[in-house]
Chains A and B, each alone.
Chain A
Amino acid sequence: MLTRKTLLTLTTILLLSPIFGVILAEELGYHEPLDIVAEELKLNESEFTWTPLKDYTVPGLPEWLGYIICGALGVLVIVFAGYVIKVALGRREIEFSNS
């Protein structure tokens, strides 16, 4: 589903991602425009959570490593979804050609 070149590019970005998503975020403490709005309007995020992988972390692992693992997991799920869609479209195509 993914070419070797695409996989290499994705892996490189994944390995570099904790530098920007974890290390620099902690060092520089930067935030998104939505955080500015939330601060001004005093909005609070709901505490309710449904996943142990919240904010791309894996319980028990260093944040940078959890970030990479979560990224890899996300890519795997996307590839699986792409495979399912391709198979489903292929089956429909056969049904159409038979009818």
Chain B
Amino acid sequence: MHIPDGYLTPEVAGITLLITLGILLVATRKISLEKKSVNEKIPLFTALSAGIFVAQMIAWPIPGGTSLHLIGGALAGILVGPWLGVLSMTLVLLIQCLIFHDGGLTAIGANVLNMGIVGVLVGYTVFKIIQRISRKVWLSSFLAGWLSMTLAGLACGIELGISWNSTLPLYVMTSWHAVLGLVEGLITGGVVSYLTLKLPKTVWWS
């Protein structure tokens, strides 16, 4: 889902960059307010960021000639909290873009917005809502992962759709990611359940 250079109009690229910078500013301020506890979370933040970076290098083949890679937004939000999760995904996306040209420089705002902000905040919010209804960790994190990827795909589709005045990107990106998101949900559910069981004190929400 990494948008390369040339896929977005300068207007869409500029607006998404401004929105992203604004939200990153909010994230940084929110984190600085809880400074003391954040310091303790940095080892998990580092391990999580490295894990997401490596996991994104694995493209899973899907029948029909399509592939997907984990985004990890919901996972980040659930494990280290929404704002640190946003910064974790931003770090991963910046390294992918600047060092490995995975995603365009002009599209960095959109890519961070889709995967790093929408992906994390949707995943975190869904997880918290489902947790209030059902205490089942696996179900909450599965739905968080699934909706996180689906809405990240929707956001990407909207940006491409506005850029080229077409509804096709919206349909293609949302429908495909709604299907592929099931795998994201399964992985998120599996990892969160495992960590909750084995390392309950490291998980942010527990």
Contacts and interface: CB of A to CB of B under 8 A. Distances in A.
28 contacts: A3-B47, A6-B51, A29-B65, A31-B65, A33-B177, A34-B2, A37-B160, A41-B166, A43-B6, A43-B7, A45-B6, A45-B104, A46-B104, A48-B5, A49-B101, A50-B105, A51-B98, A54-B100, A55-B100, A56-B100, A67-B57, A70-B99, A74-B96, A74-B99, A74-B100, A75-B54, A78-B46, A89-B39
Contacts of B7: 34, 38, 43, 45
Interface residues of B, number: 57
B135 interface: no
Contacts of A38: 7
Nearest to A18: B57
Contacts of B60: 20
Q: How many A residues are at the interface, by size bracket?
A: 35 or more
A79 B38 CA distance: 16
Q: List 8 tightest A-B contacts by C-beta distance, closest first.
A: A82-B46, A33-B176, A46-B5, A46-B6, A54-B101, A30-B67, A45-B4, A17-B57
B124 interface: no
Contacts of B46: 1-2, 78-79, 81-83
A2 B42 CA distance: 10
B199 to A, nearest CB: 10
Contacts of B2: 34
A10 interface: yes
